[in-house]
Amino acid sequence: METDKCIRVKITTDSGIIILKLYDSTPLHRDNFVKLVKEGFYDSLLFHRVIPQFMIQGGDPLSKNATPGTLLGGGGADMPRIPAEFNSNYFHKKGVIAAARDNNPAKASSACQFYLVEGKVSTDAELNQIEQYYGIKYTPEQRKIYTTIGGTPILDQNYTVFGEVEKGIEVIGKITNVPRDSHDRPLADVRMKIEIAE
């Protein structure tokens, strides 16, 4: 599927460092993300939405100077959306990066906001329901991952997955467990710095 020549990025937070591999099979998302990283777009932005056993979301440009308690998540709406790049090989297992989006019929992605999946372990019965409801068919390998390692299968084929964590997956769990407000924003800012990994 993916080679060792994939582009890698490093996300640095106070909770630790995450190394991500970006998929070559989602070139629109890969190239857009790399462009923003090289521009320093993400530096000092917040992970503004964190939910245990689900995900951490960041990349809202309005978060850089946001005062405590400010509701975030709407930033970047003025940037062109990225067309969806769904691929049945890429699913919401623990540790993937995917593009956030608003509610639009094409399921096109936000140009800048993304999330990292923590998720939880699913049962075969739960996966059967998702397959039936969404018309998805999981491979035995995907089922094994969802029922042992976990993820968020309910998001499959609704949000574009464009990479996965190679190192530092435990950092996601550290961030999801910080104290947060009623909008799931951490009470103490969790800032990021993202750069291309050498």
pTM (2 decimals)? 0.95
Residue linked to tokens 């106070």: 14
Mean pLDDT of the region 57-81: 93
Mean pLDDT of the region 144-158: 96
145: region left, alpha or beta (phi > 0 left; psi from -120 to 50 alpha) = alpha
Strands (E) across the chain are located at: 8-13, 16-22, 47-51, 55-58, 96-99, 114-117, 161-167, 193-196
Indicate if the pLDDT at residue 4 is higher than 80: no
Indicate if the pLDDT at residue 1 is higher than 60: no
CATH hierarchy code of domain 8-196: 2.40.100.10
Mean pLDDT of the region 147-175: 97
Question: Are 6 and 157 contacting, i.e. CB atoms less than 8 angstroms apart?
Answer: no
Strands (E) across 59-169 are located at: 96-99, 114-117, 161-167
